[in-house]
């Protein structure tokens, strides 16, 4: 089961990220993890939250531009070599990773070229996917 990720467009301005977290807080939505990428004048924020639909609506109402994408969420044991094990599985099957980031509870979020195939090979190699 893929996990839903919200992407938010943010201008590179003081307080914009705080505005996003304020909205989530007001809606009582838990932020499980996030990453940011920045260009010169703007950046994009990727979020995994407890209630994607509600979060998206709240952000949209506040005027943010958002996008929903399917990503894979994998549990990784907190010991040496665990991440490598997962990445090696994907590399072996020629699945490219667009981006990857860590979220709470030693879980990682992956965006890959072929999502269903990635899920399949990870599962068949004993990697635990989160919902």
Partner 1 sequence: MAEGFWEKEYETMPREKLLDLQLERLKKTLINVYENVKFYREKLDGSGVDPYNFKSLDDLGKIPFTTKDNLRLNYPFKLFAKPLSEIVRIHSSSGTTGNPTVVGYTKNDIALWGNLIARNLYSTGVGENDIIQNSYGYGLFTGGLGLHYGAELLGATVIPASGGNTERQLKIMKDYGSTVICCTPSYALYIAEVGNELGFDFSKLPLKLGILGAEPWTDEMRKEIEARLQIDAIDIYGLSEIIGPGVSCECIQKKGLHVAEDHFLVEIIDPRTGKKLPPGKRGEIVFTSLTKEAIPVIRYRTRDLSILHTDTCDCGRTHARMEKPMGRTDDMLIIRGVNVFPSQIEEVLMGVDDLEPHYLIVLDTKDYMDTIEVWVEVSEKNFYEEIMDLEFFEKSIEDRLYSAIGLRINVSLKEPQTIARSKGKAKRVLDKRKKD
Q: Which residues in this chain contact partner 1 in the complex, by CB under 8 A?
A: 7, 9-11, 16, 37-39, 41-44, 63-67, 69, 98, 111
Smallest gap from residue 11 Cβ to partner 1 (A): 5
What is the token pair recorded at 63? 């005027």
Element (H, E) at 20: helix 16-26
Smallest gap from residue 68 Cβ to partner 1 (A): 10
Q: At what angle do helices 82-92 and 115-124 cross, to 10 degrees?
A: 120
> Do residues 7 and 43 touch, judged by C-beta distance below 8 A?
no
3-state secondary structure of 109: strand
1 vs 39 by CB, closer to partner 1: 39
61 vs 78 by CB, closer to partner 1: 61
Smallest gap from residue 85 Cβ to partner 1 (A): 27
52 vs 125 by CB, closer to partner 1: 52
Give, in degrees to the nearest 5, the angle at Cα 46 between 65 and 100.
Answer: 150
């Amino acid at each position: 089961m893929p996990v839903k990720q919200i992407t938010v467009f943010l201008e590179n301005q003081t307080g914009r990220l705080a505005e996003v977290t304020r909205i989530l807080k007001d809606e009582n939505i838990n932020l499980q993890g996030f990453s940011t990428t920045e260009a010169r004048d703007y950046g994009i924020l990727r979020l995994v939250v407890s209630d994607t639909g509600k979060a998206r609506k709240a952000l949209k109402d506040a005027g943010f531009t958002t996008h929903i994408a399917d990503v894979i969420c994998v549990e990784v044991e907190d010991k040496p070599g665990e991440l490598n094990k997962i990445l090696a599985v994907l590399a072996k099957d020629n699945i490219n990773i667009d981006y990857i980031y860590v979220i709470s509870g030693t879980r990682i979020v992956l965006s890959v070229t072929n999502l269903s195939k990635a899920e399949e090979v990870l599962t068949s190699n004993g990697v635990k996917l989160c919902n």
